[in-house]
Amino acid sequence: MPYLTQDQTAEPDSAGSGATGGHRTTTVERGAFCLARCDCGWSGPARRARSQARTDAERHTADR
Write out pLDDT tens, residues 9-38. 444 434 444 444 578 999 999 999 999 999
Of all residues in the chain, the percent with pLDDT exceeding 70 is 67
Residue 21 lies in a domain: no
Burial of 37 (0-12, 13-18, 19+ CB in 10 A): buried
Q: Is the pLDDT of residue 58 over 90?
A: yes
Question: 6: pLDDT confidence band, cut at 50, 70 and 90?
Answer: low
Report pTM.
0.65
**Residue range of the domain that includes 34:** 26-63
Whole-angstrom distance, CA of residue 4 vs CA of residue 22: 23
Cβ contacts of 19-24, under 8 Å, gap ≥ 24: 22/61, 22/64, 23/60, 23/61, 23/64
- Total number of domains constituting the chain: 1
Residue 1 lies in a domain: no
Of all residues in the chain, the percent with pLDDT exceeding 90 is 59
Is residue 49 left, alpha or beta, with left meaning phi > 0 and alpha meaning psi from -120 to 50? beta
Residue 7 lies in a domain: no
